[in-house]
Amino acid sequence: MFPLYCSLHLDGYRLDIMPPMKPTLYFLRSSEQRIATDMLYYAARLDDIQMSLEDFPRLTIYEKYYGLNHHDVGLYALVGHEIAGAAWIRLLKASDEADAYIDDITPVLTIAVKPEFRCTGIASAMLEQLLLEAGALYERLSVSVIHDSPALALFERSGFTRVDGSAKQSPVDGSQLFTMVKELQRKEVARPSEGYDPTYWMD
């Protein structure tokens, strides 16, 4: 469900490598739930198929009422004055039928970067900080990944491992998905001293 890919000219594919960007990270508050909604559009690859969230009502479990539950944790990246991406985790239930659902105590990760900001290191910066935040609350988290997505390399570098027998079809376009899990280490959260406004973070 998370495409974080670049485009390149290689074996029939196009890849545009862009210079690294240093985003400003902000805590994703409940009052900013609209950011989660907007970014879910890209996380679900709906821009690729020119469809909307209204066409896939089941996707709302990933963003609806974000932040109203204290178990929700997230952040977003700002480049200049534009939101470039967001990443957040939520505890879901088996009845939600989330693609990456493991159990009731393992939050599901959603992460997206707008197309014009991909391949600039923003996804890595967001994921690195979110893993620190999540480690203060949870023992592990899960994410759903397209089997041939370049995002797979990002998750593998971050210590995610594939869950055997988790393959299924995407409800969006039928692509094969599988679940990856990251075991977290509980430790004191270290937040960057530069590149973010600490008044926008909450403990």
Digitized pLDDT (tens) for each residue of the chain, 203 residues in all: 554 545 443 333 334 445 567 889 999 999 999 999 999 999 998 998 899 999 999 999 999 999 988 889 999 999 988 999 999 999 999 999 999 999 999 999 999 999 999 989 999 999 999 999 999 899 999 999 998 888 899 999 999 999 999 999 998 888 899 999 999 987 667 676 555 454 554 43
- Comparing CA positions, the residue from 123, 137, 125, 124 lying closest to residue 188 is 137
How far from each other are the two terminal CA atoms of the chain, in whole angstroms?
Answer: 29
Q: What structural domains does the chain harbor? A: 24-188 (3.40.630.30)
Beta bridge partners of 75: 27, 87
Residue 46: what pLDDT? 93
Q: What is the pTM of this model?
A: 0.84
Helices (H), the chain: 33-43, 46-49, 122-135, 151-157
Residue 188: what pLDDT? 67
Q: How far is CA 64 from the centre of its chain?
A: 15
- Give CA–CA dist 123/44, Å, rounded: 15
- Give CA–CA dist 60/105, Å, rounded: 20
- Give CA–CA dist 101/99, Å, rounded: 6
Residue 185: what pLDDT? 84
Q: Beta strand 168-169 with 108-113: parallel, antiparallel or unpaired?
A: unpaired
Residues in the chain: 203
CA distances from 140 to 12, 108, 137, 145 (A): 37, 9, 9, 16
Helix, strand, coil: what percent of the chain each, to 5?
30, 25, 45
Residue 70: what pLDDT? 86
| One-letter identity of residue 140 | R
Residue 20: what pLDDT? 67
Of all helices (H) and strands (E), which one includes residue 125?
helix 122-135
- Give CA–CA dist 143/162, Å, rounded: 10
Any idea what DSSP says for residue 121? S
Residue 7: what pLDDT? 47
